[in-house]
Amino acid sequence: MSESSMRSAIESRLSGYLSTQQPPVSLFFENTKGTKPEKAPYVEFTILEGNSRRANLGGSRTVRHVGVLQIDVMWPKDTGMGGVERLASKCGSWFDEWSVKLDDDASLNFKTPRQTTLGIAGEFQRIAVSIPYWRDEKSK
C-alpha cells in the first residue's frame, strides 16, 4: 500500500506546483492516457524502486525501501536552455530534503536532487532530475 501512497503524494505535490505556472505545465504519469503537447513544455515522472531491507533492530519491524524519483522535464527544442533549466531546478527544489508522513503511516524522505541534461528527444530538450529517496514502512 505504501508504494501507491507514495505515488499519490508525489503526484499531488508535483501537479500542484506545475498547475501554478503560467501557462500551466502538463504532468504525465506512467501508464496513463493523454496527448502530450507538441510545442509546449511538459513533465513526466518515474519511480525507480531499489532494494528493500530491515531498517531497525528489536520487536517492531521497519522495512526501508530505497529508490530514485526521476522527473523528466521536456521543453521545446531550439528555444534555449534557460526555461528548461529553470523548470527542472524548481521541480527538483520541491522535493529537496522533503519529508512527509504518508496516509498509511509510512514515512517518505527525499535527498538532494541532481539535474542531468539528456539532449534532444524528438522535438524537445530533455533534462532529468533524479532525487534519491527512502520510504520506511512499519510492520503490524
| All domains of the chain in start order, with CATH | 2-138 (3.30.2000.20)
The predicted model scores a pTM of 0.91
- Only one residue has cell 532525487, namely 131
Contact 37, 83 (CB under 8 A): no
Q: Crossing angle for the helix pair 2-18 and 82-93, nearest 10 degrees? A: 140
In this prediction, residue 112 carries a pLDDT of 98
Contacts of 139 (CB under 8 A, 6+ apart): 60, 61, 62, 63
pLDDT in tens, 96-106: 999 999 998 89
pLDDT in tens, 31-75: 777 889 999 999 999 999 999 998 888 778 899 999 999 999 999
- Only one residue has cell 533524479, namely 130
